[in-house]
Amino acid sequence: MSLAAATSAAVTRLKVRVVTLALLVILSAAAAVSVPVAGRQFQDLPVELAAKHVTLVSQLGRDISRAVEFGIPLADMRGLDVLLADARAAHPEVGYLTFVDTQGRTRAGQDGAPAPTDLSGVPRTMPGSAPRLVELDAFHALRLPVIGPDGAVLGDIHLGIDRSHVVRLIQDRVFDIITVMVVTAIIATELLLLLLDSMVTAPLLGLQRWAEDTRAGRGAALAGAPGRGELAAFVRQLAGLSGVVHGTPTSPTAGVPWLIMLRHVRVALFVYVVADTLSLSFLPLFSRELMSPLWSLSEDVLVGLPIVVYWLMSAVVQLPGARLLEHMTHRRAFVVGALLSAVGAVGSAMAQDMASLLVARAVSGIGLGLVFMVCQAAILTHVPTERRTYGVATFTGVFFLATFSGTALGGIAAEHLGFRATFVLSGGIALLACAFAVLTFGTSREPHRPAVQAAEGWAAYGKLAVNPRYAGLLLLAALPNRMFNVALVFFLAPLYLDMLGASKAEIGRIVGVYGLTMAFAAPLIAAWVDRRGWQVRSVVIGSLLCGVGGFAVVPFDNQWGILIAVALMGLGQSMSIPSQMTLIPTVAASNARVLGLPRLYAVFRAGERVPAFLGPILAGVLVGLLGYGAAIATYGAWLAVSAILLAFVFSASRSKCA
């Protein structure tokens, strides 16, 4: 094994061990707290619920007492059944609700779940005292006396809280807690990997390069190790010795290996996307709160408008953003983008009407577009050509991990802090991403190009448009993939699952499979694709997989069919999207010499994203004509045909070149 391979293997081994160990202990500790706390809630929730039921039963008792006061004998009180049935229907957690007179005869309330046959052992809760609950069969049983107008007891109202209701409350909590634990694990992993890469990987890679240079007889400079630790002291000693031997002072340099730069971009992007996606789950609800008549638009259109404006601006900013990128460092461009997002988030928090919310979301959208662009550009600048698919897949993976984390945390934050406070939190986290980028991004930038004259520019863009492989990649891979993605994940799957009777939590979990698959599969597949140089095959097979997934709803016209379609889309796009990005510099090399890579990427992103809004509209038309299953299958067919055509385009271009 070469020295580089041995170093890389040893560092990877150390990172895997430390992260696995930390996650194991952290998750075990979280489980050790959560299990008894859930048990405690199982005890406490029924008691608290009973406080509500005491009030309910007291009111029912008062109504019975009044009827008796009006001279209606208990035996003739025919409305009692209806009274109790209505009360039970209004409180679904109540399993049974019945009135038993002083003779022990059940007088009313026979509907609902059958009450336990013997209720005599249930202790009475007297008015004004704490509820006395006992567990009886499948219920938490409660009993309150009904006092007549003369002060005598007329009987008892018995109420049973269904234990399965409490179990459901706890179960819902378990899914929430699992979500929090998964997000915690993701954030912990990112933090630990950043620390290990900064403190161990970077200096060891620096040492490895120094060792190789020294062996080769080249002037050896050492990458500096931060802090006062053992590695830093060691590097300083070696640098000093090297200076003594070669007669010139040698101080540790600050060269940063590409793996570390990739980590820095990854962490900055992760923090930024978490901030940006905090509002994802509640933006339509917030829009509805601010709903006011605007430009005679319908309510349905208005609710979705902030989302449309946000995504549209993120796509539209790509072309001017690419020009901007040539005039500033990656660090400055990232800071500008993240600051705009922070301003947009705070603006959203302060919005008092729909118009101001739209402006704020547009500003956030511009920020998102810039940050995306600069992160992709920075990755392509730092990562060696042969590892670009891995670099882009890292970008894709971290985007989906952060989206999952941000959305989950945002939902929880909005529930407890409110929408506006969550927007402010989002702005604060975006500022953290800014600070991190300032500290770690260095001074890398895109090569400056002389301004292209308008006529030359249009001619260059014209040549790009007729480049068959670039156009094929855009129109036969990126565009259909993006449209199917937006249509299935954000529109068809949630609506179809809702129609199939899935709960909101189930819909969230099934749709979430897409993001999780992308997050975990994309980097693994990319490393494999990089090793073999199979980018074109990866794009074609990935698109085919998405298409095949669309057909899954034909034999499985149920939740499983949707799950398969979503999972195959995640897997297929894990193969397809990173490779599309990697192929751009290769398929449009001559265009890149005139326009520059950032513009090529900008045109590509704008070309796939701007029309992506047609995805849900087209899906809606197809659903109206064919139904949900056939609409998804039609999209699948489009993807499959596009993938086959793309294979022909690349095959024909290769033959022509040959």
For the segment 9-38, give every residue that binds other proteins (CB under 8 A). Answer: 10, 14, 17-18, 21-22, 25-26, 28-30, 32-34, 36-37
Which of residues 207, 430, 522, 622 is near other proteins by CB under 8 A?
207
Q: Which is nearer to other proteins, 204 or 525 (CB)?
A: 204
106, β-bridge pairs: 100
Q: Which is nearer to other proteins, 348 or 573 (CB)?
A: 348
Range list of H helices, 105-229: 163-196, 202-215
Which of residues 49, 269, 370, 371 is near other proteins by CB under 8 A?
49
Nearest by Cα to 238 from 221, 219, 256, 262 = 221
Range list of H helices, 256-298: 258-277, 283-289
Q: Which is nearer to other proteins, 63 or 101 (CB)?
A: 63
Smallest separation (angstroms) from other proteins to the CB of 95: 17
Query: For residues 272 and 333, what is the distance between their CA atoms, to the nearest angstrom?
Result: 13
Stretch that binds other proteins, among 229-237, 296-304, 325-333, 501-509 (CB under 8 A): 229-237
Query: For residues 124 and 143, what is the distance between their CA atoms, to the nearest angstrom?
Result: 5
Stretch that binds other proteins, among 187-195, 261-269, 444-452, 536-544 (CB under 8 A): 187-195
Smallest separation (angstroms) from other proteins to the CB of 420: 12
DSSP 201: I
Smallest separation (angstroms) from other proteins to the CB of 14: 6
Other beta carbons within 10 angstroms of residue 532's beta carbon come to 9
List binders of other proteins among 555-614 (CB under 8 A): none
Range list of H helices, 500-558: 504-532, 535-551
Smallest separation (angstroms) from other proteins to the CB of 240: 5
Q: Binding of other proteins at residue 52 (CB under 8 A)? A: yes
List binders of other proteins among 241-280 (CB under 8 A): 241-251
Q: Which is nearer to other proteins, 68 or 612 (CB)?
A: 68
Stretch that binds other proteins, among 57-65, 310-318, 498-506, 636-644 (CB under 8 A): 57-65
Which of residues 77, 138, 231, 438 is near other proteins by CB under 8 A?
231
Query: For residues 295 and 302, what is the distance between their CA atoms, to the nearest angstrom?
Result: 10
Do residues 547 and 636 make contact, with C-beta atoms less than 8 angstroms apart? yes
Query: For residues 584 and 596, what is the distance between their CA atoms, to the nearest angstrom?
Result: 11
Which of residues 40, 327, 593, 654 is near other proteins by CB under 8 A?
40
Query: For residues 84 and 72, what is the distance between their CA atoms, to the nearest angstrom?
Result: 17
Smallest separation (angstroms) from other proteins to the CB of 528: 26
Q: Binding of other proteins at residue 81 (CB under 8 A)? A: no
Q: Binding of other proteins at residue 300 (CB under 8 A)? A: no
Which of residues 184, 381, 558, 559 is near other proteins by CB under 8 A?
184
Query: For residues 227 and 225, what is the distance between their CA atoms, to the nearest angstrom?
Result: 7
Angle at Cα 500 formed by Cα 498 and Cα 503, nearest 5°?
Answer: 50
Stretch that binds other proteins, among 203-211, 434-442, 485-493, 629-637 (CB under 8 A): 203-211
Q: Binding of other proteins at residue 56 (CB under 8 A)? A: yes
For residues 430 to 469, the per-residue mask of contacts with other proteins, x marking binding by CB under 8 A and - elsewhere, is ----------------------------------------
Query: For residues 586 and 590, what is the distance between their CA atoms, to the nearest angstrom?
Result: 9
Query: For residues 142 and 55, what is the distance between their CA atoms, to the nearest angstrom?
Result: 12
Q: Binding of other proteins at residue 239 (CB under 8 A)? A: yes
Which of residues 138, 308, 343, 412 is near other proteins by CB under 8 A?
412
For residues 103 to 142, the per-residue mask of contacts with other proteins, x marking binding by CB under 8 A and - elsewhere, is -------------------------x--------------
Q: Binding of other proteins at residue 5 (CB under 8 A)? A: no
Query: For residues 592 and 484, what is the distance between their CA atoms, to the nearest angstrom?
Result: 29
Q: Which is nearer to other proteins, 239 or 335 (CB)?
A: 239
Nearest by Cα to 395 from 479, 516, 519 = 519
Q: Which is nearer to other proteins, 66 or 531 (CB)?
A: 66
Do residues 512 and 403 make contact, with C-beta atoms less than 8 angstroms apart? no
Q: Which is nearer to other proteins, 221 or 594 (CB)?
A: 221
Q: Which is nearer to other proteins, 76 or 353 (CB)?
A: 353
Angle at Cα 27 formed by Cα 437 and Cα 191, nearest 5°?
Answer: 15
Q: Binding of other proteins at residue 204 (CB under 8 A)? A: yes
Which of residues 233, 435, 459, 617 is near other proteins by CB under 8 A?
233
Smallest separation (angstroms) from other proteins to the CB of 23: 9
Tokens 């409350």 -> residue: 169
List binders of other proteins among 58-77 (CB under 8 A): 58-59, 62
Q: Which is nearer to other proteins, 76 or 415 (CB)?
A: 415
Radius of gyration of the chain (CA): 32
Task: Please count the residues of this chain forming the interface with other proteins, following the rule CB under 8 A.
Answer: 84
Smallest separation (angstroms) from other proteins to the CB of 54: 8
Smallest separation (angstroms) from other proteins to the CB of 217: 8
* Cβ contacts of 232 within 8 Å, gap of 6 or more: 203, 224, 225, 226
Smallest separation (angstroms) from other proteins to the CB of 252: 10
Phi, psi of 147 (to 5 degrees): -95, 130
Q: Which is nearer to other proteins, 55 or 110 (CB)?
A: 55
Which of residues 195, 350, 421, 652 is near other proteins by CB under 8 A?
195
Q: Which is nearer to other proteins, 192 or 343 (CB)?
A: 192
The strands making up 106-108's β-sheet, listed across from edge to edge, are 106-108, 94-101, 153-162, 139-147, 134-136
Provide the b/e sequence for 248-262 (b: ≥16 CB within 10 Å).
eebebeeebbebbbb
Residue-by-residue DSSP string for 565-624: HHHHHHHHHHHHHHHHHHHHHHHTHHHHHHH-HHHHHHHHHHHHHGGGGHHHHHHHHHHH
